[in-house]
């Protein structure tokens, strides 16, 4: 009953995550182009027409760009909460899609998967993370959040895999040639998680079940993969979790496989 996981792409240019059991295949977000999602799924041996659900975390374009293409070409089922759907439908080309509406905090079923949406702090209408369950296997997914909360900690405990934002190195963000207002937004309580914060959160919630961590949504300008991975590995090792595999994700190619 294990879950198989591959990040099709992650970063400010687009985010999409593939999660599957033996019977059910879903995407968390569809922020690449429709053609690119089709191509990357094919590269890992998956027919896009076999995807059972696309579950959307929030309305920002790098998480929902391909929704119309995927539903209109392939009839894929879309899942979102009311706030996210309302925000998406403000764009004319995305009106008229058929949605399955979930209530944040209430689990819903996609095939033999149980998907549990929970609130996260981010600068969008009603953003969520997800825990995806199949029997005892649990994968926790939080792609965008400004700060850890008690709820997030609770939901990520006992997961076999965690996919967590590790957006920026704090010093690189301070030194970046960006407007101060943008730096404040990124580092704020509804912005994005730093490498340090990601490492501290993972070290706190890691348990004996945790097998793998995927670091997602790395900033191309304010982070480097080796800094993100190094900070998280050091934090995990300090708390006795040095055996957890830390995997990187990429904007231009799929990640390695992982399992929960």
In this structure, the strands spanning 25-28 and 16-20 are: antiparallel
Residue 210 lies in a domain: yes
Residue 18 lies in a domain: yes
For 54-97, write each residue's pLDDT tens digit. Answer: 999 999 999 999 999 999 999 999 999 999 999 999 998 889 99
For 3-61, write each residue's pLDDT tens digit. Answer: 999 999 999 999 999 999 999 999 999 999 999 999 999 999 999 999 999 999 999 99
CA distances from 104 to 65, 76, 129, 220 (A): 22, 21, 9, 31
Residue 260 lies in a domain: no
What pTM value is reported for the model? 0.97
In this prediction, residue 93 carries a pLDDT of: 87
Helix, coil or strand: residue 158: coil
Segment 163-167 shows an average pLDDT of 98
The pLDDT of residue 133 is above 70? yes
For 184-220, write each residue's pLDDT tens digit. Answer: 988 888 989 999 999 999 999 999 999 999 999 999 9
Domain span including residue 119: 4-254
In this prediction, residue 145 carries a pLDDT of: 95
Q: Domain containing 166 — which CATH number?
A: 3.60.15.10
Segment 167-194 shows an average pLDDT of 92
Query: If pLDDT is split at 50, 70 and 90, which confidence band does 1 have?
Result: low
In this prediction, residue 225 carries a pLDDT of: 97
CB 247 within 8 A of CB 229: no
**Cβ neighbours of residue 128 under 8 Å, at least 6 residues apart?**
57, 58, 81, 84, 104, 117, 118, 119, 120
DSSP string for residues in 171-234: HHHHHSSS-HHHHHHHHSTTS--BHHHHHHHHHHH--TT--EEEEE---SSS--HHHHHHHHHH
Query: If pLDDT is split at 50, 70 and 90, which confidence band does 183 have?
Result: confident
**Cβ neighbours of residue 82 under 8 Å, at least 6 residues apart?**
101, 126
Give the count of domains, the chain.
Answer: 1
| Residue 103, number of CB atoms within 10 A of its CB | 10
Residue 64 lies in a domain: yes
Closest alpha carbon to 164 in 209, 124, 196: 196
Residue 259 lies in a domain: no
User: Alpha-carbon Rg of the chain, whole angstroms?
Assistant: 17
Query: If pLDDT is split at 50, 70 and 90, which confidence band does 249 have?
Result: very high
């Amino acid at each position: 009953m294990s879950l198989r996981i591959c990040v099709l792409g992650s970063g400010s240019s687009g985010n999409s995550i593939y999660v599957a059991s033996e019977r059910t295949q879903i995407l968390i977000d569809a922020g690449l182009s429709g053609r690119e999602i089709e191509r990357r799924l094919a590269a890992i041996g998956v027919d896009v027409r076999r995807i059972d659900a696309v579950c959307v975390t929030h309305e920002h374009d790098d998480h929902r760009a391909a929704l119309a293409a995927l539903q209109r070409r392939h009839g894929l089922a879309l899942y979102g909460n009311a706030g996210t759907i309302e925000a998406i439908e403000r764009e004319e080309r995305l009106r008229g899609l058929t949605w399955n509406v979930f209530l944040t905090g209430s689990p819903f079923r996609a095939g033999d998967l149980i998907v549990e949406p929970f609130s996260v702090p981010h600068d969008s209408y009603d953003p969520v993370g997800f825990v995806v369950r199949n029997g005892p296997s649990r994968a926790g997914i939080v792609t965008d959040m400004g700060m850890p909360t008690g709820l997030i900690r609770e939901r990520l405990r006992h997961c076999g895999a965690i996919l967590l934002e590790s957006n920026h190195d704090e010093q690189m963000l301070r030194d970046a040639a960006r407007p101060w207002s943008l730096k404040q937004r990124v580092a704020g309580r509804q912005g994005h998680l730093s490498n340090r914060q990601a490492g501290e959160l993972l070290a706190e919630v890691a348990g004996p079940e945790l097998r793998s961590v995927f670091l997602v949504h790395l900033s191309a300008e304010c982070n480097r993969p080796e800094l993100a991975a190094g900070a998280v590995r050091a934090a995990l090792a300090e708390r006795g979790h040095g055996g957890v595999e830390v995997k990187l994700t990429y904007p231009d190619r799929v990640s390695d496989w992982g399992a929960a």
